[in-house]
Amino acid sequence: MGFTKLYEVGITGKGIRVGIMDSGVYAEHPWLKGRVVVARSAFDYEDEKDYFGHGTHVAGIIAKLAPDASLYSYKILDSKGGGDLFTLIKGFDWAVNDRVNVVNLSLGSPVNCCFSTIRLLHDSSKEMGVFPIYAVGNFGEGRVACPAMIEDTIAVGSVDVDCSIADFTSRGPGCFFYRRPDTYAFGGGSKSCVISAWTPLSKTRPGMYACVRGTSQAAPQVTAATALFIQAYRERFGVDPKYDDLKRIAEVATRDNVLRVDEMERAVINPIAQLLLSLALLLVGEAVWRLRTR
Amino acid sequence: MGAYSIYVTNPVYVNDIVRDVEAVGGRVITVSTTFGIVVAEIPDSMVGRIAAKRYVRMVEKSYPFEVTTR
């Protein structure tokens, strides 16, 4: 069971606003035409278009997996792929004011931000109904990127096609020694990569599609899954889910592998269990599912 | 002179901090009334004075972010 099963029952991200805090989005790309509702830039010296390519790649993954979600592009990384704390503040400000439901942050910093403005931004955002999903970083074992190191974030690592954890995925203790990441999705590895939209505006790698690897490519899959989950939850219960519940489900689904998924699959008569099963499978990704069942 | 983010304990204090920044010869770059954050350039010698205000929760210098793609 994957994303397609959910599309068949009308769970496509309809009515869900997905924010992308990145290098902007090339909205004219064939995969993204008509999908970007809002585009903003945090830079005085650059417009909202993507001159780097990364944001368009991330947007392509989300657009494909959550086909009816509206995309909100917040350009907080410039044409060299760099931003700072101040552009991040602007991004969060926009996301909250635009009432975005889930926001993808495929970015990181090597600094320690356990006691930082970012923690406060994260806490306030989730209280205001914005769900941030973070890439855990590509530093390998023992080092986790900021903001994914903050213990109550949803931090996403990457698995390879052979279902092994990608060697570049950051993992290890985050703030207060909490083990990161929480969950994994396919983000490519030594033998694979993720194909998605790319921007012709990029000077370094021109073209309409590109094959890229990293936790940046894993996080948008969890972002898209979260968008579908919020829609399903909203339709079922009439309210939006809580960020902390989502985080707990992601952790449990990843930790308890197929045994738990099997139990839930047998209990699909219960619509809530079915919903949880769908989310569990979506969050851990089909790669992890295959790993546990082979 | 350096750029700092100043996080206040409640967004209602944003105007007070803007006044304080200007009083010490600083310049406000952006204001987030949603979160109660003022980003401003302040003379480095005056940062302590701003941080000591009772309604200031955190003063922090910026640090860089980059994409997490290999």
- Please report the pLDDT score of residue A202 as a whole number: 63
**In 3D, which of A46, A39, A47, A44 has the Cα closest to residue A21?**
A39
Number of structural domains found in chain B: 1
Note the pLDDT of residue A293: 57
Give which of A117, A146, A169 to mutate to test B binding, by max B Cβ within 10 Å. A117
What separation, in Å, do the N-terminal and C-terminal C-alpha atoms of chain A show?
A: 15
Is B70 among the domain residues? no
**Where are chain A's structural domains?**
12-225
Over chain A, what is the mean pLDDT? 84
- Arithmetic mean of pLDDT, A167-180: 91
Q: How many CB pairs under 8 A join A and B?
A: 104
Q: What is the pLDDT of residue A252?
A: 67
* Lowest model confidence (mean pLDDT) among A103-107, A177-181, A186-190, A213-217: A186-190
pLDDT at A13 exceeding the cut of 60: yes
pLDDT at A284 over 70: no
Condensed to tens digits (0 to 9), the pLDDT of residues A238-248 reads 889 888 878 87
pLDDT at B30: 92
Tens digits of per-residue pLDDT, A59-94? 999 999 999 999 999 999 999 999 999 999 999 999
Q: Is the dihedral of CA B5, B8, B14, B15 positive or negative?
A: negative
Can you give the pLDDT at residue A147? 96
H or E stretch covering B15? helix B14-23
Mean pLDDT over residues A253-268, rounded?
39
For tokens 């079915």, name the residue: A274
Residue of B nearest to A55 (CA): B67
pLDDT single digits (tens) B31-49: 999 999 999 999 999 999 9
Asked if B66 and A107 come within 8 Å (Cβ–Cβ), the reply is yes
| pLDDT tens-digit series, residues A149-160 | 999 999 998 887
Segment A43-62 shows an average pLDDT of 95
Q: Is residue B31 part of a domain?
A: yes
What residue in A sits closest to B41 (Cα-Cα)?
A: A86
Look at residue B3 and give its three-state secondary structure. Answer: strand
**pLDDT confidence of residue A266:** 27
Is the predicted pLDDT of residue A271 greater than 60, yes or no? no
Across A99-124, average pLDDT: 95
In a domain, B66, yes or no: no
Q: Find the CB nearest B65 among A88, A213, A214.
A: A88
Its domain, for residue B9, covers 2-61
State mean pLDDT over B20-36.
95
Check residue A262 and give its pLDDT: 34
Question: Of the ranges A42-46, A135-139, A227-231, which one carries the lowest mean pLDDT score?
Answer: A227-231
The mean pLDDT of A131-156, rounded to a whole number, is 94
Report if residue B67 sits inside a domain: no
Q: pLDDT-derived band of residue A255, with 50, 70 and 90 as boundaries?
A: low
**What share of chain A has pLDDT > 90, as a percent?**
56
Closest-approach residue (CA) in chain A for B3: A86
- Whether A120 sits inside 8 A of B7 (CB atoms) is yes
The pLDDT assigned to A189 comes to 80
What percentage of chain A exceeds 70 in pLDDT? 82
pLDDT band at A42; cut points 50, 70, 90: very high
A184 or A2, greater pLDDT: A184
The predicted pLDDT at position A5 comes to 75
- Which superfamily does CATH assign the domain made up of A12-225 to? Peptidase S8/S53 domain (3.40.50.200)
State whether ipTM is beyond 0.90: yes
Q: Which residues contact A292 (CB under 8 A, 6 or more apart)?
A: A257, A258, A261
pLDDT bracket for residue A291 (50, 70, 90):
low
Contacts of A25 (CB under 8 A, 6+ apart): A32, A36, A39, A50, A55, A56, A59, A71, A73
Tell me which of A63 and A262 has the higher pLDDT.
Answer: A63
Could you tell me how far CA B44 lies from the centroid of its own chain? 12
For residue A123, is pLDDT > 90?
A: yes
CATH number at residue B42: 3.30.70.80
CB B32 within 8 A of CB A55: no
- Sheet containing A154-159, strands listed edge to edge, beginning at the edge strand earlier in sequence: A36-41, A70-75, A17-22, A102-105, A131-135, A154-159, A183-186
Residue B37 lies in a domain: yes
